[in-house]
Amino acid sequence: MSSETHATPASHARQYLIIFAVLAALTALEVGVAYVTGHRRAVMATLFALALVKAACVALFFMHLKWEARLLRIIVVIPLALPVVYALVLITESIWRRIG
C-alpha cells in the first residue's frame, strides 16, 4: 500500500472497517477482563496479549506495514521488539530474586 504509485491503488476500506470492529471489540473485552477478580497473572497475560494484538492491527493495517517492503518492516519491528525482550528479562530477574 502506498500513495506513491502511478495508478490509484485498490481500496482497503473493507479491511479498515473490519480492523475498526476488531479494535472496538478487543477494547470492550479488555475492560471486561480488567474487572475479573483473582487470577491476577492470567488477567495480566490476557491483557498484554490483547494489547499486542491491537497494536499489531494498527501497525499492519492502519500504518500499512503489511504492504511495505520487507526491509522497512525489519527496520521497524526489530528495534521495537527489543524493549519487550528487556521487559521479559527484568520480569524473569524479579521472579528469580523473589524465589531466591
Partner 1 sequence: MEHAAHGPATWPADAQFGRSSAGKIAMWIFLVSDGLSFAGLLLAYGILRGESQVWRHPGEPELGIAFTAGLTFLLICSSVTMVFAFEAAERNQRGRAAALLLATALGGALFLLGQYSEYFGILHPGLTKEGLVFGQSAYASTFYVVTGFHGMHVLSGTIYILITLGRYLKGTATAAQIELLGLFWHFVDLVWILVFTIVYLIPAGP
42 contacts partner 1 (rule: CB under 8 A): no
92 contacts partner 1 (rule: CB under 8 A): no
Which residues ranging from 11 to 40 are in contact with partner 1 (CB under 8 A)? Answer: 11-13, 16-17, 20, 23-24, 27-28, 30-31, 33-35, 40
Q: Which of 9, 14, 99, 100 binds partner 1 (CB under 8 A)?
A: 9
83 contacts partner 1 (rule: CB under 8 A): yes
Nine-digit cell string for 56 = 499489531
Nine-digit cell string for 59 = 501497525
Question: How many CB atoms neighbour CB 59 within 10 A?
Answer: 16
Q: Are 27 and 54 in contact (CB under 8 A)?
A: yes
